[in-house]
Structures are given as C-alpha cells and as structure tokens.
C-alpha cells in the first residue's frame, strides 16, 4: 500500500508525524513517539525539516502542542476516562503510547489515511485502534462511534488536534452540536489560530508571515480561526475549561523543565506566542 490516494489535507499528517519523529533523537526529548518514523520516507522527513525552518519557534509550537495533548490524555485516563476519540487522527499513536487496560481509543480520519496507517502498522505487527473512516463533517459521526462500541453516556475525551484550521468555518458549530446531541459527557481539546492571524489583520505582521510560511510548507490553506471562544458557549452547549496560547499552556501542561527545553522559543514576544492557541471545552450537563 502506498500513500498515493491521500489528498492534500491528509498529507499534512505526515509532516506533523515528521516533527514528532525528530523528538527521540534530541538530547533531552520532551516526549517520545517511537511510532512516528514508521509512516515517513526521506521526502516527508525533508518536508518536516522545512517546516522547522519557517521560523525557529514553529517546530517548538508543534512539540508543545504534542506535550499539551499528551498531558490531557494522560490526566483524563488517570481521572477515569475510558473512551478517547481522536478526530482527524492522522498518524497519532497515542492509543499505543498511552495504552491502558480498559481504555478504548477510536481514530477518525479519511479512509486513505487510515488504510495507509493500518497497512504500515500491520506490516510491523503493531495493533491499531478502532478506525472510523469518514469525512466527520459529513458522516453521522456519533452513530459511527456508537456502532464501533463507544458508549455515548460514558465520559469521553475527544482530541481534535491539528484540524480546526482546515475546516470550512460554517460547518463547525453544526458538527459540534451533532456530537453534543448524542454524547452526553465529553471534553474536547483543540488547537486553533486567531482568525486575525489568518486574514492578515493580526497585530504582529511577523506572526502573519510565519503562519503563511507554515501553510506553504504544509501545502494547505488555513480556512478557519477563532478570535474568541464565546461562540462555543453561546452557539453550542460547551463550557470553556481551559485555554492558553501555545507557550503558556504548553509550558504549564508540560510541567517543570519544559520551559528550559524550549531555549529561545520560551522568550517569544507576547504577540507571537498568542498567534496559536489550545482550548479544552466540556459539554455542559443537562443542556
């Protein structure tokens, strides 16, 4: 199986895996993803390297995002969550990295991506998790998840990493409301850009340029950003549980030592740091 059927949005998953694959070779890694390299070839590794060259902080932003979502997954499992859904999972391997008895992981992505992932894992004798192949904006995702074994009334963590920027904005609230209609207890974590960074009106021209450079290497256009999280509470039944710019939340969730490992990225201007965010929402009970 080769990756020829994977479209441009699917292909972005390789580049992110390429950044994760660099981590274990560092003297002091922030995290370990021993699987990321399995999905790569030399050309894809080169694309990941190009991404780190857009600006010194770009690779670190993705490292911090990995650490932040790792912590959310680990903390949730520690607190008793037994269902983890990864939307637009790409080559995320948290189901293997954080495998814990009784915890079910569900990957959701386009068929070509998940088929390629499954073929690589099968070739190495590594078990995948439950795979739901669909465009999650079009499918009846709750129905697909329930058919795959998800209990809609049990606490669920949804990881939505590296996705929101690729989606048409007008479809997002409808999609989230459909999830809320059927899943009564869940939290969802996602990363996002302020809309102003994408439309070029953001206060830092440097940040706007960096994010343009990222889109060029990713060969994809970032369509959607959020200047505020208010709509998630007014147009959908969520409560914002946590939110922070990538440096603040990454260092906070990464824990002691994370800041030192970032070197000069830790001293980014406030404007640059605030050009990329992570948020965690909880479905409000009873709404």
Q: x/- binding map, residues 208-247, to ligand SAM, per CB under 6 A?
A: ----------------------------------------
- Closest CB to ligand SAM among residues 88, 225: 88
Interaction of residue 59 with ligand SAM, rule CB under 6 A: no
**CA atoms of 280 and 71, how far apart (whole Å):** 12
Taking CA atoms, 263 is separated from 61, 211, 268, in Å, by 12, 21, 10
Q: Which of 12, 83, 265, 275 binds ligand SAM (CB under 6 A)?
A: 12
Nearest approach in angstroms of CB 137 to ligand SAM is 4
Angle in degrees, 0-180, between the axes of helices 205-218 and 42-52, rounded to the nearest 10: 180
Identify which range of 94-102, 159-167, 179-187, 265-273 contacts ligand SAM by CB under 6 A.
Answer: 159-167
> Which residue, among 140, 165, 152, has the nearest Cα to 65 in the 3D structure?
165
Interaction of residue 161 with ligand SAM, rule CB under 6 A: yes
Nearest approach in angstroms of CB 165 to ligand SAM is 8
Is 12 buried (19+), middle (13-18) or exposed (0-12) by CB count in 10 A? Answer: buried
Nearest approach in angstroms of CB 19 to ligand SAM is 9
Taking CA atoms, 146 is separated from 88, 132, 152, 182, in Å, by 18, 11, 7, 9
Place of tokens 């998800």: 150
In the numeric block, which tokens belong to residue 34?
Answer: 């021993």
Per DSSP bridges, beta strands 186-192 and 104-109 are: unpaired
Interaction of residue 10 with ligand SAM, rule CB under 6 A: yes
- Closest CB to ligand SAM among residues 103, 114: 114
**CA atoms of 122 and 135, how far apart (whole Å):** 23
Per DSSP bridges, beta strands 238-245 and 277-283 are: antiparallel
Interaction of residue 33 with ligand SAM, rule CB under 6 A: no
Nearest approach in angstroms of CB 136 to ligand SAM is 4
Q: Which of 21, 92, 132, 262 binds ligand SAM (CB under 6 A)?
A: 92
Asked if 283 and 187 touch (Cβ cutoff 8 Å), the reply is yes
Nearest approach in angstroms of CB 54 to ligand SAM is 15
Q: x/- binding map, residues 94-123, to ligand SAM, per CB under 6 A?
A: ---------------xx--x----------
Q: In what order do the strands lie in the sheet with 186-192?
A: 130-133, 104-109, 83-87, 156-160, 186-192, 277-283, 238-245
Interaction of residue 162 with ligand SAM, rule CB under 6 A: yes
Interaction of residue 60 with ligand SAM, rule CB under 6 A: no
Nearest approach in angstroms of CB 150 to ligand SAM is 17
Asked if 165 and 192 touch (Cβ cutoff 8 Å), the reply is yes
Q: How many residues bind ligand SAM (CB under 6 A)?
A: 20
Q: x/- binding map, residues 125-144, to ligand SAM, per CB under 6 A?
A: ----------xxx-------
Residue ranges binding ligand SAM (CB under 6 A): 9-10, 12-13, 16, 88-92, 109-110, 113, 135-137, 161-163, 166
């Amino acid at each position: 199986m080769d990756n020829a059927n994977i479209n441009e949005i699917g292909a972005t998953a390789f580049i992110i895996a390429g950044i994760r694959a660099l981590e274990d070779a560092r003297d002091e890694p922030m995290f370990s993803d021993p699987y990321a390299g399995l999905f790569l070839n030399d050309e894809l590794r080169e694309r990941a390297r190009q991404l780190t060259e857009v600006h010194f902080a770009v690779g670190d932003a993705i490292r911090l995002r990995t650490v932040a979502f790792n912590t959310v997954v680990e903390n949730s499992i520690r607190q008793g969550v037994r269902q983890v859904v990864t939307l637009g999972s790409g080559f995320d391997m948290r189901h293997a990295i954080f495998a814990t008895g009784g915890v079910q992981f569900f990957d959701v992505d386009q068929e070509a991506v998940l088929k390629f992932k499954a073929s690589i894992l099968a070739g190495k004798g590594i078990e995948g998790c439950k795979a739901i192949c669909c465009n999650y904006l079009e499918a009846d995702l709750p129905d697909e998840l329930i058919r795959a074994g998800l209990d809609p009334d049990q606490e669920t963590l949804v990881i939505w990493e590296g996705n929101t920027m690729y989606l048409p904005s007008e479809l997002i609230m409808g999609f989230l409301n459909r999830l809320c209609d059927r899943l009564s207890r869940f939290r969802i974590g996602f990363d996002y850009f302020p809309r102003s960074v994408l439309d070029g009106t953001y206060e830092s021209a440097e940040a706007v340029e960096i994010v343009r450079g990222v889109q060029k290497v990713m060969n994809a256009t970032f369509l959607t950003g959020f200047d505020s999280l208010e709509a998630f509470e007014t147009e959908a039944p969520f409560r914002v549980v946590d939110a922070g710019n990538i440096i603040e939340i990454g260092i906070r969730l990464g824990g002691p030592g994370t800041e030192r490992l970032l070197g000069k990225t830790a001293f980014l201007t406030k404007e640059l740091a605030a050009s990329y965010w992570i948020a965690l929402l909880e479905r409000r009970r009873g709404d």
